[in-house]
Structure 1
Amino acid sequence: MSYRVKRDIKIPLRDEVLLSADHYQPEEQGVYPAIVVRTPYGKTREQQHLQGEYFTEHGYHVINVDVRGRGDSEGEFVPYRNDGVDGYDVIEWVANQTWCDGNVGTLGGSYLGRIQWLTALEQPPSLKAMVPLVTPSDPFVEWPTGLPNPMHICWLYMTRGRVMQNINLVDWQKVYWTLPYVDMDLPTGWYSEQWREEIEHPYFDDYWKHIAYQHRFDEIDVPVLNISGWYDDEQIGTPLNYQGMVEAGKSDQHLLMGPWPHQLNKSTKLGDLDFGEESLINMNDYQRSFFDYYLKGIDQGFTKKEPVEIFVMGENKWRQEKKWPLPNTKWTKFYLHSGGKANSRFGDGVLSTSDPAKSVADYDQYVYDPANPVPFITEMVSHQIGGPDDYSSIERRDDVLVYTSDVLEDDLEVTGPVKANLFVSTDAKDTDFTVKLLDVRKSGFAQRLTDGLVRGRFRNGTDKPELMTPGEVYEVEVDCWNTSHIFKKGHQIRIEIASSAFPKYDRNLNTGDELGKATEMKVANQTVYHSEQYPSSVVLPIIKR
């Protein structure tokens, strides 16, 4: 089906602001469903154009819209603050045009994904289906430190003004070391009111609740195709959204997880790994089969799929499942053991399912110096934070505790959420604990699978800050997100514990001072316990094969 494009059409909002949109429409006369794509990154990007072409050629109107204050749209851009109400107005305006049959779907990734959820909370009657990809979570889910992660300043810089800015002009590594944290905008040559406003709200208060959606799934009732990758740096939100909607009793929920970074489905390779030709799918066709069913009532085989489709790394194959987490999951505790010297990969840390009372020593200790944080391997810009990187060199440090299993005698599948329960103490008023899950190959390559962090003052939640008492033992839970991976025979399972992962997360200065405003640092002496009384463990979702 041939198509034509109308550029820069104006969509009026309730406050009389006009948004600019490009309308891709079939040449063939008739009314069709519409797909709305709203973006702060420019409606004329090649990706938007190719999507517009594809769906229009298959019998859809596609409306690519610059969000408020970006591109050719009027108004002021304040991330997420207006996007729910604006989305309602755009969808209903589109649905009421003579060329639309009244059925509207939404599509887009990252920022474009989250604003679909914010729009769904407004309950536009014509919204019949959503495809949010690589969707950011609520505040403090991805960055549980009370502060936006350092690379967020890169994103704010990139989206300042009306057009995309050249982030390659800035020395981001220098920027991320800035103290106080609130001044991290200044080395970029730019003063960011948005950055500073966010720093003023280090707790989950009403400021953040206004743009939160993950506690409100009961207010949303629309079919959703959730899509992300195991190495998406915002991965945690997508399985949470699928699971949350299902637990809220919502039908027609779907989940697709591939071996991809934030830029989905672009290459079979990620870092040093090649996941094979099967790892790439025809994403347009996959999404169209969803829209065809929910917007047109045409089943191209979509209903023959199970609601969950995952790519199992290590085996490098796709698999369909009925639920997430998988119904046959065996939640297995792997306990920490050592002779008291688990520091670095040259230490004596052991990971096993054995009784923690059998550990030779009751604890391990290390020193965390925020002036010399443990590196998190990543490029310095916000496009992608980390990947399946080799952490064997990082594990040479004595401020990294390393616990490694015996060599596996058989393949072992780990698919699902990964959580650690640690018993810890510190001589600081506030500090962090990080946990990383890795696959150690025979060569010694230690592949990061997934990781997480807990900030001491937020051990009871980001809405319940409470400083730590030096010397007191606390049980803390570390959410290490999700994975689907087969540890091959001859490999080993490894856990790293540290107190920093920089620059993925901001450095805890250990003083307990006001977040984002301090410059003084304190060296913290950390203790991780593993005894009968304090059985620290990581819980792995083992899948019987």
Structure 2
Amino acid sequence: GLYHDDMEINIPGFWFATWYDVSISPNLALYNHVRANAKDASVRDNQYLVIAPTLHCAYKRAQENTIVGELSVGDARLNYDEQIYGWFDLWLKGDTNDFKSKTPKVQYYTMGSNQWNAADTWPPKESKLQTYYLHSGGTANSLYGDGSLSLNKPSTDEKPDTFTYDPMNPVPSYGGNVCCTGNAVRGGAFDQQGMETRNDILVYTTDVLEKGIEMTGFIESTLYLSSDVKDTDLTIKLIDVHPDGSAYNLDETIQRVRYREGYDQEVFMENGKVYKVDLTPMATSNFFKAGHRIRIEVSSSNFPRFARNLNTGGNNYDEKVGVVATNTIHHSATYPSNVKLPILQQ
């Protein structure tokens, strides 16, 4: 349901979330909000969280070989019944038991290493944001372009990347974080290589990792956009690229540009002017093994998971005809488009 920050949550909570659920980032943000802002200290101190590597509400369907979409994430089973019964016995029956002493505040599953981990907070205190910058020679379009992602800040003269977004030919949703869509979108992790042959997807990839990296926490992203339309969308998808080239999605996000300054006001673009756009945070826990690469895709649609922006500046829901947008992503010293990745410090 819809939650507002001024609503009081005044009971202890045992939260269950999944990496491929439609609302994973908002759920984690709300968990943190209650831990920080509940008026009663006993409520703040009795919030527990489990994050499983499955689809919406499917945490108890994990198996010895758990498949999410088309990717195996290993043995993701957990003693759910024991923990849930212990929780209810503690709070509903008033039993004195060992739930609090045995149960971490946060239990989360790290894909890639395929193991359960525990922390006192989300994200874990050891997780620190590192800024990765977008680079290219001006042709990051598709898997075959020259886009790259690195810790190096961009130079002053880097050429931007331009793509055409036609709302009559949007990028199709392929896997991802979904719920309750029937057969419209099949959720989970799928190899994105076929999707990445489209020229309306910009692809930015790190060099091959010499050693493994665990990414655990919220992912923040900032893009600098210019366009020839009043309004459009920006999308980002986070990808784990395997040594054989297969590219599995971890999370995805979108921002309607007219709401870049807040959802209480519409601010339209002027043709050619560059705008800073902060996208809604993503979240994951994934171990990128040595030999893998980290990738992001940037586009303007992910349909039908997200409604298409017809680029008109109108309501969209009562319109039939869209406008083709020419969208440009800038990445330079002046416009340093980037993603902040939560790297676990070992």
Say how many residue pairs are matched.
332
Instruction: Note the residue ranges of structure 1 that are not aligned, 5 or more in a row.
Output: 1-113, 115-211
| Matching residue of 1:382 | 181
How far is the alpha carbon of 1:220 from its aligned partner? 2.0
CA offsets, 1:363-384, max 9 Å, x none? Answer: 1111101111011114996157
Contact map agreement 2:17 2:57 (CA 8 A) in 1 = no
| Matching residue of 1:213 | 3
SS in 2 for 1:356: coil
1:309 aligned to 2:98?
Answer: no
The structure having more radius of gyration, on CA atoms, is 1
Contact map agreement 1:343 1:399 (CA 8 A) in 2 = yes
Q: Distance in 1 between matches of 2:36 and 2:259?
A: 26
Contact map agreement 1:436 1:496 (CA 8 A) in 2 = yes
| Matching residue of 1:515 | 316
* Off by >6 Å, runs of 4+ in structure 1: none
1:241 aligned to 2:30?
Answer: yes
Contact map agreement 1:450 1:480 (CA 8 A) in 2 = no
How far is the alpha carbon of 1:251 from its aligned partner? 2.5
How far is the alpha carbon of 1:515 from its aligned partner? 3.1
Q: Distance in 2 between matches of 1:351 and 1:464?
A: 33
- Say which of 215, 223, 226 aligns to 1:422: 223
How far is the alpha carbon of 1:242 from its aligned partner? 0.8
Residue type matched to 1:297 in 2? G
| Matching residue of 1:281 | 78
- Say which of 148, 151, 156 aligns to 1:353: 151
Q: Distance in 1 between matches of 2:86 and 2:237?
A: 37
Q: Distance in 2 between matches of 1:376 and 1:544?
A: 33
| Matching residue of 1:29 | none
* More displaced stretch, 295-304 vs 309-318: 295-304
| Matching residue of 2:120 | 322
Instruction: Note the residue ranges of structure 2 that are not aligned, 5 or more in a row.
Output: 39-43
Contact map agreement 1:436 1:480 (CA 8 A) in 2 = no
Alpha-carbon spacing, 1:331–1:380, altered in 2? closer, same or farther (3 Å): closer
Q: Distance in 1 between matches of 2:243 and 2:270?
A: 42
- Say which of 299, 324, 340 aligns to 2:138: 340
SS in 2 for 1:395: helix
How far is the alpha carbon of 1:298 from its aligned partner? 2.6
| Matching residue of 1:38 | none
- TM-score of the aligned structures, taking structure 1 as reference length: 0.59
Q: Distance in 1 between matches of 2:83 and 2:113?
A: 22
| Matching residue of 1:150 | none
1:293 aligned to 2:90?
Answer: yes
| Matching residue of 1:462 | 263
Residue type matched to 1:270 in 2? V
| Matching residue of 2:276 | 475
How far is the alpha carbon of 1:275 from its aligned partner? 2.3
Alpha-carbon spacing, 1:380–1:451, altered in 2? closer, same or farther (3 Å): closer
1:541 aligned to 2:338?
Answer: no
How far is the alpha carbon of 1:258 from its aligned partner? 0.7
Contact map agreement 1:376 1:386 (CA 8 A) in 2 = no
- TM-score of the aligned structures, taking structure 2 as reference length: 0.92
SS in 1 for 2:20: coil
| Matching residue of 1:251 | 45
CA offsets, 1:17-68, max 9 Å, x none? Answer: xxxxxxxxxxxxxxxxxxxxxxxxxxxxxxxxxxxxxxxxxxxxxxxxxxxx
SS in 1 for 2:55: coil
How far is the alpha carbon of 1:436 from its aligned partner? 0.8
How far is the alpha carbon of 1:288 from its aligned partner? 1.2
SS in 1 for 2:162: strand
CA offsets, 1:324-381, max 9 Å, x none? Answer: 12212211110000000100010000100002127x6231111101111011114996
CA offsets, 1:121-160, max 9 Å, x none? Answer: xxxxxxxxxxxxxxxxxxxxxxxxxxxxxxxxxxxxxxxx
How far is the alpha carbon of 1:410 from its aligned partner? 0.5
Aligned pairs for 1:6-85 within 5 A = none
CA offsets, 1:401-434, max 9 Å, x none? Answer: 0000000001101111112101111100110000
Alpha-carbon spacing, 1:442–1:403, altered in 2? closer, same or farther (3 Å): same
How far is the alpha carbon of 1:296 from its aligned partner? 2.4
SS in 1 for 2:155: helix
SS in 1 for 2:83: helix
CA offsets, 1:255-276, max 9 Å, x none? Answer: 1101111132213221222222
1:227 aligned to 2:25?
Answer: no
Contact map agreement 1:439 1:487 (CA 8 A) in 2 = yes
Q: Distance in 1 between matches of 2:216 and 2:107?
A: 12
1:432 aligned to 2:266?
Answer: no
How far is the alpha carbon of 1:299 from its aligned partner? 4.4
SS in 1 for 2:29: helix
How far is the alpha carbon of 1:254 from its aligned partner? 1.0
RCO higher in structure (CA 8 A, sep ≥6)? 2
Q: Distance in 1 between matches of 2:99 and 2:74?
A: 24
1:504 aligned to 2:305?
Answer: yes
- Say which of 391, 396, 399 aligns to 2:200: 399
Q: Which has the higher strand share?
A: 2
| Matching residue of 1:83 | none
Q: Distance in 1 between matches of 2:179 and 2:220?
A: 27
Q: Distance in 1 between matches of 2:73 and 2:200?
A: 33
Q: Which has the higher helix share?
A: 1
Alpha-carbon spacing, 1:505–1:410, altered in 2? closer, same or farther (3 Å): same
Q: Distance in 2 between matches of 1:251 and 1:232?
A: 26
| Matching residue of 2:41 | none
Residue type matched to 2:150 in 1? S
Residue type matched to 2:106 in 1? V
| Percent of residue pairs identical | 39
CA offsets, 1:521-540, max 9 Å, x none? Answer: 11100000000000000010
How far is the alpha carbon of 1:480 from its aligned partner? 4.0
Q: Distance in 2 between matches of 1:363 and 1:468?
A: 18
How far is the alpha carbon of 1:464 from its aligned partner? 1.4
SS in 1 for 2:230: coil
How far is the alpha carbon of 1:236 from its aligned partner? 2.4
CA RMSD after TM alignment: 1.7
